[in-house]
């Protein structure tokens, strides 16, 4: 029977645990987490080092799997997916932005953005059109032919965001997206991410340790010792 995705949360954790090691070396990164994220949400995940926030994001991104419990994506239990199917989910449904920009040094901005489309086997003309549109969305169409060495840190992160959204994902997973940037550039990046959420309907889940960055989200979840300590809604910071 087909799953009616419209009737399910976008992301759901059901008593998810994640354990690394065994015996005296055992580390319980997640200790029975229940969590729902609806479509169109903008969620900031916070917590001290070792709290489980990055482990939770890795599971959401199908980069890791729970030790027990269930992770459902659009109502589908991801434990039923094999490795290739999880890769397809990442490729078609998820976009990733990391603290390190992870751009190819000798490749132009537009070529970096086009990489996920190459993996899809998309024709070159269509790749170029979509990649240029993604760069326009982050205000970098005029830097399309620049290599990373000719771009500032903020511009490099904008290219990384363009690469994450060029496949039209439904979720953007951002892990410390402003961690390498100064305050003014961080605001620029967060304004872009906020516009993508507000205007494009992109669901955003962001790990951050910075309160001023979490202020852009509409929901803040705090992890402590592998559990959710608090989960609250808030009025987000405005887009400039």
**Per-residue pLDDT tens for 70-114?**
999 999 999 999 999 999 999 899 999 998 889 999 999 999 999
- What is the per-residue pLDDT across 137-151, written as a single tens digit (0 to 9) for each? 999 999 999 999 999
Which residues, 6+ apart, have CB-to-CB distance to 100 below 8 Å? 180
111 φ, ψ (degrees, to nearest 5): -70, -40
In the chain, the domains with their CATH numbers are: 9-233 (3.40.50.300)
Question: How do 219-224 and 227-233 pair as beta strands?
Answer: antiparallel
- What is the per-residue pLDDT across 164-193, written as a single tens digit (0 to 9) for each? 999 999 999 999 999 889 999 999 999 999
Which residues, 6+ apart, have CB-to-CB distance to 95 below 8 Å? 163, 164, 165, 167, 169, 171, 172, 173
Question: Measured between alpha carbons, how far is 93 from 90 in angstroms, rounded to an integer?
Answer: 6
Question: Region 191-200: what's the mean pLDDT?
Answer: 95
Average pLDDT of the chain to the nearest whole number? 93
What are 17's strand-pairing partners? 31, 68
What are 18's strand-pairing partners? 30
DSSP state letters, 134-153? HHHHTT-GGGTT--GGGS-H
Question: Measured between alpha carbons, how far is 42 from 34 in angstroms, rounded to an integer?
Answer: 18
Sheet containing 227-233, strands listed edge to edge, beginning at the edge strand earlier in sequence: 94-98, 171-175, 203-207, 42-46, 219-224, 227-233
Which residues, 6+ apart, have CB-to-CB distance to 166 below 8 Å? 113, 114, 116, 117, 130, 131, 133, 134
pTM of the model: 0.92
Residue whose token pair is 């926030």 = 53
Q: What does the block give as tokens for 27?
A: 């580390």
User: What is the CB neighbour count within 10 angstroms for residue 145?
Assistant: 10
Residue 157 above 70 pLDDT? yes
Question: Measured between alpha carbons, how far is 90 from 172 in angstroms, rounded to an integer?
Answer: 11
Question: Measured between alpha carbons, how far is 181 from 60 in angstroms, rounded to an integer?
Answer: 25
Contact 117, 95 (CB under 8 A): no
Question: Measured between alpha carbons, how far is 233 from 220 in angstroms, rounded to an integer?
Answer: 6
């Amino acid at each position: 029977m087909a799953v009616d995705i419209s009737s399910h949360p976008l992301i759901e954790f059901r008593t998810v645990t994640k354990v690394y090691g065994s015996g005296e070396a055992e580390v319980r990164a997640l200790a029975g987490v229940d969590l729902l994220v609806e479509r169109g949400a903008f969620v900031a995940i916070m917590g001290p080092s070792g709290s489980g926030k990055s482990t939770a994001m890795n599971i959401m991104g199908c980069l890791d799997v729970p030790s027990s419990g269930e992770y459902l994506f659009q109502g589908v239990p991801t434990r039923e997916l094999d490795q290739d199917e999880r890769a397809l989910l990442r490729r078609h449904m998820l976009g990733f932005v990391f603290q390190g920009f992870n751009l190819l040094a000798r490749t132009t901005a537009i070529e970096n953005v086009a990489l996920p489309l190459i993996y899809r086997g998309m024709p070159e003309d269509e790749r170029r059109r979509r990649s240029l549109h993604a760069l326009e969305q982050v205000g970098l169409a005029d830097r399309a032919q620049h290599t990373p060495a000719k771009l500032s840190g903020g511009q490099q992160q904008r290219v990384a965001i363009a690469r994450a959204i060029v496949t039209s994902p439904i979720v953007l997973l951002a892990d410390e997206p402003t961690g390498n940037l100064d305050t003014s550039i961080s605001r620029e990046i967060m304004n872009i991410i906020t516009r993508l959420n507000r205007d494009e309907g992109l669901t955003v889940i962001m790990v951050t340790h910075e309160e001023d960055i979490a202020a852009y989200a509409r929901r803040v979840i705090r992890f402590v010792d592998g559990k959710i300590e608090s989960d609250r809604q808030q009025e987000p910071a405005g887009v400039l």
